[in-house]
Structure 1
């Protein structure tokens, strides 16, 4: 059996959208789906213990309702649910450690506050090395969340200067499952003037673009051979990578970006391009950790 899909649930519209997206992904993978609610229970002396019991009952009712709704929509899907006591980021990371994918709402409320901007979401993205998909439920993102764009193309951002095998494998796997075209995008900036007018020569820029295209094709060749049925559109564009990815991915079913695995606790774990995509993409965003 394929590895299960784990989705965080907290009762908000974003987590509901994430659950429906995760259910469709589980069907594509023939994998079980695990709904997870995580909350750190506090019971100060001034608050009766019964308050915590009520919250636990609410969490169980939330998971039960979400499970029933998904089973009604996808009766063939293997669905289970689990509630964790403890720090949400730690609980979600633990649940995802043996999973094939973690799915989160991109702007949660309550215990899963702010997956894009908040500490919980950032902590999860920093920690989890499994592919993590963030799904929005804003007005612009509703078609994506409902699955109306589930058969649309996939866009993946690539840096040809660094190896990104895990990123490409994930993107090609997803395109193969969905039977859609994969758009592989590499962006580069025009050379700074720095006193050299030749840097803006059309001939020089054309040669740079050609070298970039050759490098992208060379990087993609092993995956072209491994996935001969996947339609591939490889593009080299001039401009900021985040802007080009957002533009190209505005009508995509999924945008795939990477993050470098960093063992150090110091410094950023999510690069500026991935950070920008998480903030502004209306399409679901898959963040793939790789060396």
Structure 2
């Protein structure tokens, strides 16, 4: 049986938006959708009725609401549900290990605050061994698509760009392939963004790429980007690719690029130490401030 797309649901608006996004992604990938709700376990109460039984009823209502929303939005997707008792982070990390990808909700705030990432979601993102997508509250199908001819929102137009955060000093096949595949599934353009900054006055450090001085630096970085992407252009010949090389802080460049995107794809190094939660400063900034769903893809 193919690995499912899994969404964590807790009844919040952001988790319902994540469940609907996950349903659309499952349909795009031809995968089943599985909903998971983690509830706290409680012993029997003094009146003889188990508090845990009440928790199960509450969890069932949460699952029912999510399934109703999914069936209205994506009626053709196959949906199953699962309730677990215990810490949500542990249940979601276990789910991520058997999923095509895991989708979680993240509250969207206005202004510069961006995503408010809860401790559970951030902990899962920092420890999961598979891709995790964060979806803000209010995200709907039309926001993935380009405006219609009148400038209004529509779910019938083509998809907005998929944006890839590309570090040419440490290109990762898992991250690049995820982004190309996401663009292929959507028939969207892939926009690969690499941001560079001048080396400090003290010079280059170990492992840094030696670049020519002056105006030629941008051209040098452009050449590195083109070289890294060429094998993927050959593999995904039907995906249009736009290479963006800017002299700017990487986090700033990515947040700007994501403002008009359907999906932002960033990487996260697997540390080899399961207890260590680490996303890196650029990925952390992206998941907090990006204005679109963010896919965090772990890699060695």
| Same fold? TM cut 0.5 | yes
TM-score, normalised via structure 1 length: 0.87
CA distance in 2, matches of 1:252, 1:40: 37
C-alpha contact (below 8 Å) 2:133/2:296 kept by paired residues: yes
Residue of structure 2 in register with 1:229 after alignment: 238
**Which residues of structure 1 form unaligned runs of 5+?**
109-114, 196-202
Q: 1:104 to 1:191 in 2, by over 3 A?
A: same
In the alignment, is the contact (CA less than 8 A) between 1:116 and 1:122 conserved in 2?
Answer: no
Maintained 8 Å contact 1:190/1:205: no
Residue aligning to 1:189? 197
Q: Deviations over 1:143-175 (max 9, x none)?
A: x43443241111010111113100000000000
CA distance in 1, matches of 2:59, 2:251: 37
**Shift in CA distance, 210/46, structure 1 to aligned 2, threshold 3 Å:** farther
Matching residue of 1:13: 13
Q: Is the alpha carbon distance of 1:82 and 1:237 closer, same or farther for their aligned partners in structure 2, counting shifts above 3 Å? A: same
Write out aligned runs for 1:185-264 (5 A). Answer: 185-193=193-201, 204-264=213-273
Q: Which residue of 1 aligns with 2:96?
A: 96
Query: Within the alignment, does 1:172 sit opposite 2:168 as a pair?
Result: no
Equivalent residue number for residue 68 of structure 1: 68
In structure 1, how many angstroms separate the alpha carbons of the residues matched to 2:197 and 2:260? 24
2:55 match? 55
Conserved? CA contact 2:42–2:52, under 8 Å: yes
Write the distance in 2 (CA, Å) between the matches of 1:97 and 1:47.
40
Residue aligned with 2:259, SS: coil
Question: How far 1:117 moved relative to its partner?
Answer: 3.9
- Cα 1:236–1:78 change in 2 (3 A) is same
Q: In terms of mean alpha carbon deviation, does 258-267 or 28-37 score higher?
A: 258-267
User: What displacement does 1:35 show?
Assistant: 0.8
Shift of 1:205: 2.8
Aligned in 2, Cα 1:54/1:268: closer, same or farther, shift over 3 Å? closer
Residue 70 of structure 1: how far off its partner (Å)? 1.4
Which residues of structure 2 form unaligned runs of 5+?
Answer: 109-114, 146-158, 204-211
d(CA) in 1 for partners of 2:14 and 2:76? 24
Larger helix proportion, structure 1 or 2?
1
Number of equivalenced pairs: 273
**Does 2:127 match 1:122?**
no
Deviations 1:128-148 (A, max 9, x none): 1111100001xxxx3x43443
For residues 274 and 129 of structure 2, the distance between their equivalents in structure 1, rounded to whole angstroms, comes to 15
Task: Return the alpha-carbon distance in structure 2 between the equivalents of residues 145 and 209 of structure 1.
Answer: 37
Deviations along 1:230-255, one digit per CA (max 9) or x if unpaired, are: 00001111111010000011010001
Offset from partner CA, 1:256-278 (integer Å, 9 cap, x none): 10000111256552100000011
Please report the TM-score for the alignment, with normalisation by the length of structure 2. Answer: 0.84
* 1:198 paired residue number: none
